[in-house]
Amino acid sequence: MNFLLRVWRQANAKTPGKLVDYEVHDISPNTSFLEMLDILNETLVRGEKEPVAFDSDCREGICGTCSLTINGEPHGPDHPGAVCELYMRKFRDGARITIEPFRVGSFPLLKDLVVDRSALDRIVQAGGFISARAGSAPEANSILVPKHDADLAMEAAACIGCGACAAACPNGSAMLFTAAKVSHLSLLPQGLPERQTRVLRMVSVMDAEGFGNCTNTYECEAVCPAEISASFIAKLNREYARAALQRGAGE
Amino acid sequence: MIGRFDAKIPPGPLAQKWRNHRDHSRLVSPNNRRKFEIIVVGSGLAGGSAAATLGELGYRVRCFCFQDSARRAHSIAAQGGINAAKNYQNDGDSVYRLFHDTIKGGDFRSREANVYRLAEISNNIIDQCVAQGVPFAREYGGLLANRSFGGAQVSRTFYARGQTGQQLLLGCYQALCKQIAAGTVQMFPQTEMLDLVIVEGHAKGIVTRSLSSGKIESHTADAVVLATGGYGNVFYLSTNARGCNVTATYRAFKRGALFANPSFTQIHPTCIPVSGEYQSKLTLMSESLRNDGRVWVPKRKEDRDKLPGEIPETDRDYYLERKYPSYGNLSPRDISSRAAKEVCDEGRGVGPGGRGVYLDFADAIKRLGEQTICERYGNLFEVYEKITGENAYKVPMRIYPAVHYTMGGLWVDYDLMSNVPGLFVIGEANFSDHGANRLGASALMQGLADGYFVLPNTLPNYLAGQMGKRPSPDFPAFQEMEKEVRSRIEKLLNVNGTRSVDSFHRELGLLLWDKCGMSRHEKGLREALKRIPELREQFWHEVRVPGNGDDFNQSLERAGRVADFLEFAELMCIDALERDESAGAHFREEHQTAEGEALRDDENHAAVFAWEFQGDGRPPLLHREPLNFETVHLTQRSYK
């Protein structure tokens, strides 16, 4: 298969970027999208040109490193799944494909298709954890968790932290990311002691990092490679309201 | 040699060694801990849990990872589960049995004392992870669920869907985040360790390069902990993430740390077969699939191009069930992998290129219904369909072995300290617990055991004598090392040849897979030892690394790693040649039983092979640590 690629090239955050056209030829339909970019880069290196910088690591959809916007869609057309799980057989031969980075104000661009997503780490640092010092844990089966709650917590915990939710959102909101962590931990009995402070702090850092608000467009859910349900955002709002009321009442 | 080559196994009965050792180890008092700076390189299960726990204890920790976030370390990709000797299923499990299974699974090439400690600690890990909120699978009554896994006859594996590694890693990432917020841990993402600095015989710091800005920096510390994972990517194609590399441990080796059993590499039996030349990685299909899937190939090679549905039951060879009736499809990884290679070598392999075997769920679907199979493995079936375009509910999966894990690593003593005082090595990066073959669901166990429970108890034993000995970064050893690192980068950038870094990596990988992969023989290893230095020579003359060093430069990152692989590969082959026996994953064709099973030579080779660097271009020096088995009786492994 042959493709015409329009790739965002930008040396660093200080210089302006632009879309540059490249052609790739004789690509097998069983090639993954990132392997197709590897092939492009091999050609560029052989032609003494600078290869395209793009992020990837596990290449099996779990580490959350890869972060491309393909034809305007974060992670490309094959949802649910990360870019590394996208295969060229999903495109028609001769297609013209535009490749851009995740575009979110809170993710500054480093180079070409690579952005800095450390804002997501800072949201977790604000409270996305359960304080359980190693050595102090009680016997595991002394904490009973109803299967339904454990399953639901797992659905939220499956988030891979890629940031596609924010990239897809017209407001650049990280609500789905934050909601997934808040929901995972507040659905479990172990997470209850810190329930109030957790949600208040995480939301406050999320706002401070410049992420926008949720206006229920559900773009986040549509592109999420881990199929995190937008209903967790409703849960985040409930958790937040509950915590704010409790705090207001001096509890 | 720097330091001492002494495993320092504590005296006393096996079951009491760890407790006795802790009772008599030195401690650092709480108000003194903040005076110590600890470097942890790597943020996976071992590094992340160690950094978080040391931070909780009050040490000042600097944690480094090459990924853009600590949460992306490759532990995240582990699918199946984590073992523990809880015996929640009342099926006869115990600490002793987990210990015994692990040491037998490793084909009696690991240390009794280390493995026993691992089994003992396994239960604390589950407690710890549950307390952190890891959403393990549950039964309807709210209790934890278990499943069985390859190489065991009990159900002792805890799991979170097919994403156990992810959930355990997020647990320790969150604990790490808490310590970062508390100020006890400073995190350096996108920062790669490029060398180790030794001051007066002690590991006292590292030199790093920022992958985003290219900045070279020295970091001093009172102790250095390497948790940098395995080196499976030396084969180019493996189930490892693209970034996994040997650089940190290999640099430490070149500075005097011993490298143990480098040839012990695990080939995982259930991966999606190779489909094309430009493939960048191989994808694992969790071993848990073997609980319900049946492995087979056609009995006759003429049938291999037929559709699987056209081959009647009588013409199928369920070779694992036939050869190993008591373990069947759950036989250990090394045995299952080799059996797959054998049937494909006989020409009975299926799929393009004939390198594949069927993993068939038809019987399980008939017995349990598609719904149940979907609940158990739905996500894996989806992954399989994404990659191959085939629906495994309708046609059997095709699988083939692929490089997955490395049992070898830097040599460590019982305290997990290398022969270089102050250099600790944990998780997959060390060699200690899995012998010649690792059983399923025990890598996660070892990473977390080392990080949460072993290292925090053994590190003070070293630190207690090191108060006030941390050098300043102006110390000449750091300046010299920075200079060396810079000149190496310059050298890579200035070759200015015509071939890409990946093309060399691919060639090295194919060579190793052929000569030092699932089976090895003297002639092949000697050929590899001749070819590797030639390839290395070519690399330094023909590689092309575009861009410069003071910038975000992914080609440069990869070039440095491949340069180290090109040296390390030689060490692997030397070790494989020297180990003139078969053991676990190390199968020397010269040494096999009449049935084609691995034949150990306990008299001469019941030992750890620890290699010491002797200078570029000179053969490494072998040190042998004899393995003394006080409790376990060495037997020919039998899974029949």
Encoded tokens for A136: 């102090």
pLDDT score of A159 more than 70: yes
Residue of A nearest to B451 (CA): A134
Asked whether the CA dihedral B387, B390, B394, B396 is positive or negative, the reply is negative
Q: Find all residues with CB under 8 Å of A251, minimum gap 6, and list them.
A: none
Tell me the chain B residues in contact with residue A83 when contact means C-beta distances shorter than 8 Å: none
Q: Report CB contact under 8 Å: A59, B453.
A: no
Across residues B480-497, what is the average pLDDT? 97
pLDDT score of B522 more than 70: yes
One DSSP character per residue, B603-619 reads HHH-EEEEEE---TTSP
Average pLDDT of chain B, as a whole number: 95
Domain boundaries, chain B: 36-265+405-463, 268-404
3-state secondary structure (DSSP) of residue B462: helix
> What confidence score (pLDDT) does residue B380 get?
87
In angstroms, the Cα distances linking A176 to A74, A153, A169, A232, B520 are 15, 14, 10, 7, 50
> What confidence score (pLDDT) does residue B24 get?
95
**Which candidate in A129, A182, A186 is best for mutational testing of the B interface (most B CBs within 10 A)?**
A129
Tell me the C-alpha distance between A154 and B136, whole Å: 8
- CB proximity B49 to A under 8 Å: yes
**Percent of chain B surpassing pLDDT 90:** 90
The neighbour count for residue B208, using CB atoms within 10 Å, is: 24
Across residues A224-240, what is the average pLDDT? 98
β-pairing verdict for A3-9 and A18-24: antiparallel
pLDDT score of A231 more than 90: yes
Encoded tokens for B223: 């102790």
> Of A196, A194, A130, whose CA–CA distance to A157 is shortest?
A130
Average pLDDT of chain A, as a whole number: 97
> What confidence score (pLDDT) does residue B637 get?
75
Q: Report CB contact under 8 Å: A48, B546.
A: yes
Tell me the C-alpha distance between B585 and B334, whole Å: 5
Query: B72, B109, B251, B333: which one is catalytic?
Result: B333
3-state secondary structure (DSSP) of residue B447: helix
Across residues A205-229, what is the average pLDDT? 97
> Of B445, B498, B520, B505, whose CA–CA distance to B114 is shortest?
B445
Residue of B nearest to A145 (CA): B142
> What confidence score (pLDDT) does residue B29 get?
97
Tell me the C-alpha distance between B565 and B250, whole Å: 9
Return left, alpha or beta for B45; rule: phi > 0 is left, psi -120 to 50 is alpha, else beta: alpha
Q: Report CB contact under 8 Å: B131, A137.
A: yes
Measured torsion, CA atoms of residues A118, A120, A126, A129, in degrees rounded to the nearest 10: -120
β-pairing verdict for B316-317 and B294-298: antiparallel
Q: Which H or E run includes A124?
A: helix A118-125
Return left, alpha or beta for B638; rule: phi > 0 is left, psi -120 to 50 is alpha, else beta: beta
Q: Report CB contact under 8 Å: A42, B275.
A: no
Per-residue model confidence as pLDDT tens digits over B364-421: 999 999 999 988 888 889 889 989 989 999 999 999 999 999 999 999 999 999 999 9
Residue of A nearest to B175 (CA): A129
Instruction: Say which residue the tokens 């949802």 belong to.
Output: A79
pLDDT score of B92 more than 70: yes
The domain defined by B36-265+405-463 folds into FAD/NAD(P)-binding domain (3.50.50)
**Among A47-61, A63-77, A91-105, B372-386, where is mean pLDDT lowest?**
B372-386
- CB proximity B457 to A under 8 Å: no
Across residues B129-137, what is the average pLDDT? 97
The neighbour count for residue B501, using CB atoms within 10 Å, is: 25
Across residues B51-74, what is the average pLDDT? 98
In angstroms, the Cα distances linking B431 to A64, B7, B427, B438, B615 are 29, 12, 8, 11, 23
pTM (two decimals)? 0.97
Q: Report CB contact under 8 Å: B389, A56.
A: no
Instruction: Say which residue the tokens 């891979």 belong to.
Output: A160
**Among A88-97, B70-79, B209-218, B328-337, where is mean pLDDT lowest?**
B328-337
> What confidence score (pLDDT) does residue B414 get?
98
Q: Report CB contact under 8 Å: A140, B72.
A: no
**Which candidate in B74, B157, B178 is best for mutational testing of the A interface (most A CBs within 10 A)?**
B178
Which residue in A45, A81, A120 is closest to B386 by CB distance? A81
> Of A153, A143, A188, whose CA–CA distance to B142 is shortest?
A143
- CB proximity B89 to A under 8 Å: no
Per-residue model confidence as pLDDT tens digits over A18-43: 999 999 999 999 999 999 999 999 99
What's phi and psi for A184, nearest 5 deg? -50, -50
N residues, chain A: 251
Q: Find all residues with CB under 8 Å of A15, minimum gap 6, and list them.
A: none
**Percent of chain B surpassing pLDDT 70:** 100
Tell me the chain B residues in contact with residue A77 when contact means C-beta distances shorter than 8 Å: none
Q: Report CB contact under 8 Å: B130, A190.
A: yes
Tell me the C-alpha distance between B628 and B114, whole Å: 12
Per-residue model confidence as pLDDT tens digits over B227-273: 999 999 999 999 999 999 999 999 999 999 999 999 999 999 999 99
Tell me the chain A residues in contact with residue B174 when contact means C-beta distances shorter than 8 Å: 124, 128-130
Question: What's the CATH code, domain B268-404?
Answer: 3.90.700.10
Beta bridge partners of B198: B203
Across residues A79-90, what is the average pLDDT? 95
Per-residue model confidence as pLDDT tens digits over B449-483: 999 999 999 999 999 999 999 999 889 999 999 99
Say which residue, A36 or B161, is predicted with more confidence. A36
Would you call B290 a catalytic residue per the annotation?
no
End-to-end CA distance of chain A: 64
In angstroms, the Cα distances linking B7 to B4, B108, B418 are 9, 17, 9
Per-residue model confidence as pLDDT tens digits over B560-598: 999 999 999 999 999 999 999 999 999 999 999 988 889
Residue of A nearest to B238 (CA): A58
> Of B72, B621, B481, whose CA–CA distance to A124 is shortest?
B72
Tell me the C-alpha distance between A157 and B166, whole Å: 9
Tell me the chain B residues in contact with residue A185 when contact means C-beta distances shorter than 8 Å: 133
Across residues B322-334, what is the average pLDDT? 90
Tell me the chain A residues in contact with residue B140 when contact means C-beta distances shorter than 8 Å: 147
Which residue in B130, B386, B500 is closest to A42 by CB distance? B500
Q: Find all residues with CB under 8 Å of B587, minimum gap 6, and list them.
A: B334, B338, B518, B519, B520, B598
Burial B435-461 (b: 16+ CB within 10 A, else e): bbbbbbbbbbbbbbbbbbbbbbbbbbb
pLDDT score of A147 more than 90: yes
Q: Which domains does chain A have, with CATH numbers?
A: 3-111 (3.10.20.30), 118-248 (1.10.1060.10)
Tell me the chain A residues in contact with residue B187 when contact means C-beta distances shorter than 8 Å: 121
Q: CA angle, B168 as apex, B257 and B454 as ends, to 5°?
A: 40
Question: Which 390-449 residues of chain B touch chain A by CB within 8 A?
Answer: none
pLDDT score of B151 more than 70: no
Tell me the chain A residues in contact with residue B243 when contact means C-beta distances shorter than 8 Å: 57
Encoded tokens for B69: 């976030």
> What confidence score (pLDDT) does residue B277 get?
82
Residue of B nearest to A192 (CA): B133
User: What number of CA atoms fall less than 13 Å from residue B535's CA on the CB side?
Assistant: 26
pLDDT score of B534 more than 80: yes
> What confidence score (pLDDT) does residue B636 get?
79
β-pairing verdict for B607-612 and B259-260: antiparallel
> Of B575, B538, B595, B497, whose CA–CA distance to B263 is shortest?
B575
pLDDT score of A210 more than 90: yes
Which residue in A31, A89, A191 is closest to B133 by CB distance? A191
Burial zone of B512 (CB within 10 Å; 0-12 exposed, 13-18 middle, 19+ buried):
buried
Beta bridge partners of A96: A4
User: What number of CA atoms fall less than 13 Å from residue A100's CA on the CB side?
Assistant: 15
Instruction: Read off the pLDDT band of B517 (50, 70, 90).
Output: very high
Tell me the C-alpha distance between B640 and B633, whole Å: 18
Instruction: Read off the pLDDT band of B288 (50, 70, 90).
Output: confident
> What confidence score (pLDDT) does residue B150 get?
66
Q: Report CB contact under 8 Å: B552, A111.
A: yes
In angstroms, the Cα distances linking A75 to A10, A180, B283 are 20, 19, 19
Q: CA angle, A203 as apex, A201 and A204 as ends, to 5°?
A: 65
Q: Report CB contact under 8 Å: B167, A157.
A: yes
Q: Number of residue pairs across A and B with CB atoms under 8 Å?
A: 218
Q: Report CB contact under 8 Å: B546, A34.
A: no
Encoded tokens for B33: 């801990």
- CB proximity B281 to A under 8 Å: yes
Q: Find all residues with CB under 8 Å of B38, minimum gap 6, and list them.
A: B54, B59, B60, B61, B62, B221, B222, B223, B224, B225, B459
Encoded tokens for B548: 């410069």
> Of A244, A136, A238, A223, whose CA–CA distance to A187 is shortest?
A238
pLDDT score of B638 more than 80: no
